[in-house]
Structure 1
Amino acid sequence: MSVGRIIAWAYVAVILLITIFPFYWMLRTALSNNYSLSTDPWSFFPVDFTFGAFKRALGLASPAEAAAQGGSGASLGLTLALRNSIIYAALLTVCTVFFSAIAAYAFARLHWRGRNTVFSILLTALMVPQVLTLLPNFVLVKDLGLLNTFAGLVLPNAFFSAFNIFFLRQFMLGLSTEIEEAAIIDGAGPLRVCFRIVLPMCSAPIATLALLTFINTWNDYFWPLLVSSDTSTSPLTLALAVFKQSSPQEALDWSGLMAATIIAALPMLLVFMVFGRRIVNSIGFTGLK
């Protein structure tokens, strides 16, 4: 063990501690009695250990039990919010990745006049902050009468993603053309070549984009806040905000809010545990030419 290696491991340990500590503090708060938190706010262990916060978040605690532990009596509405998040994230992921793959194939494999010019213009979308497109998209969705619908949530971002198109195009440019040329000689058209040859060869980057898109959509808050005010379409991120604002007590139900946050984060934690290696490998795909 050299001095440099010891310093490197110490640095990694510090960064790991800084990264993990907020999650531990969130769990510690969720396992504490909300009234007791104020008596020992700096304790590193749960204060008056209880699972009451999770019961309140899931709507399993009675109003009397919730009030006794400093809760609001409100529930997260987990089942409905979870269903909405799954539908929203799945629909947007499927649409965005599918149309991005088709566009990337057109830019990487088809030869047509103005292809590079159009692609250069498309790349300028990467430099436009997303906040600048929120108002025009909201007006469009409102004029179409799609507020409080899954179509309104998905439509503005379903057909175009500059990063996804660029990501897949760069990967496709590095693929060998021999198989495609053989298929064309045998009479295969562009669509058959795309769906039977090119896209299966791009399964790894497509899966990576699908995972990243699903995670980003699952965590999205501002766009659903604009177009969804009905519980029938509100995802988990909005349900958390409603849960936070529904406390009639003088103090906020911090333990209940942290418990609800943990419940909302568990699906993404499981996804990352299962597909974490593929997500990390996405860094390598971006360097392919």
Structure 2
Amino acid sequence: MAMVLSHRKGRRFSPGRLVAWAYVTVILFLTIFPFYWILRTSLSNNYALSTDPSSPLPVGFGFGAFKRALGLATPAESVAQGGSGAALDTGLFLRNSIIYAAILTACVVFCSALAAYAFARLRWRGRNLIFSVLLSALMVPGILTFLPNFVLIKDLGLTNTFAGMILPGAFFSAFNIFFLRQFMLGLSSEVEEAALIDGAGPIRAFFRIILPMSSAPITTLSLLTFITAWNDYFWPLMVTNDDSVRPLTLALAVFKQSSPQASPDWSGLMAATLIAALPMLLLFIIFGRRIVNSIGFTGLK
């Protein structure tokens, strides 16, 4: 017992352990503090905020910023609380973000699963060579494809439409294909071979056997893709300028620029930002462990 206690004491007070805990504490603080500052600013009054901008607590505590961000405050109430009087139709922009992220996620994950099945389970000439060429897309920065995609969408007359936002990224993702292929390579082939012997074709085997067995990584990939699409800013900025299709991330920038006063409505902007980020934070809190475990498990294949 004495030896166990001594060993625990040695681990608890070792310099390396203290340095590790100090490092984790600093990283945790740097990660959480911006979210706290957003919450603190959104609970402040804009007029009072300008008098004490460095206060660690809300200045002129109130929920007026959230009312402005949700479009529930009248222009007179907004101006009285230090807002700009500009309106933000959060419900409309939330709907647009959900449509954009959900359809894009469904398309790209489904197409990636089909491609991964072809590369992992089917035997055909040139499979490995084509897969290597496909992986080279991971080395191409996404910003390089923006202008060609924009020209294509403009020539097709799809600007200011959901199709214009979704189509360029709906059918191909090198990372998604690689991610699912690595998992499918480790699946047992016995059930699939039995189904093929019974007369099932590759398509039926994919939908009835491989897809259900791959539900865990597909769920993880869907969450990651949805979060990425939800936070997307530059591509919607290039192809949309109409509120009917503009996602919430882009609407936040318009809300910031719509202030006729000398300074933006920072508390209202932070409240809208918190509303936009809250669904993704909840998703990651609920499924974060599953995402990490799935990525680690797939990487072992």
TM-score calculated relative to the size of structure 2: 0.93
2:230 corresponds to 1:218:
yes
**Equivalent residues in 2 for 1:1-16, closer than 5 Å:** 1-3=12-14, 4-16=16-28
* Separation in 2, partners of 1:215, 1:282: 16
Aligned-pair identity (%): 77
2:164 corresponds to 1:152:
yes
2:189 corresponds to 1:189:
no
2:274 corresponds to 1:250:
no
Deviation string 1:209-249 (CA, Å, 9 cap, x unpaired) is 00000000000000001111111100001110110010001
Consecutive unaligned residues in structure 2, runs of 5 or more: 1-11
2:272 corresponds to 1:260:
yes
**Equivalent residues in 2 for 1:2-81, closer than 5 Å:** 2-3=13-14, 4-81=16-93
Q: Counterpart of 2:225 in structure 1: which amino acid? A: T
- 2:182 aligned to which of 170, 173, 176: 170
- 1:229 aligned to which of 241, 245, 268: 241
Q: Contact 1:205 / 1:285 at 8 angstroms: preserved in 2?
A: no
* Separation in 1, partners of 2:190, 2:74: 67
Q: Contact 1:70 / 1:249 at 8 angstroms: preserved in 2?
A: no
Moved more, 270-279 or 117-126: 270-279
**Equivalent residues in 2 for 1:68-217, closer than 5 Å:** 68-217=80-229
- 1:240 aligned to which of 218, 232, 252: 252
Deviation string 1:180-202 (CA, Å, 9 cap, x unpaired) is 11111111111111111111111
Moved more, 61-70 or 194-203: 61-70
Consecutive unaligned residues in structure 1, runs of 5 or more: none
* Separation in 2, partners of 1:221, 1:197: 37
* Separation in 1, partners of 2:106, 2:26: 39
Which secondary structure state, in structure 2, belongs to the residue aligned with residue 32 of structure 1? Answer: coil
The aligned residue for residue 273 of structure 1 is: 285
* Separation in 2, partners of 1:70, 1:164: 46
Q: Contact 1:72 / 1:247 at 8 angstroms: preserved in 2?
A: yes
Q: Contact 1:57 / 1:74 at 8 angstroms: preserved in 2?
A: no
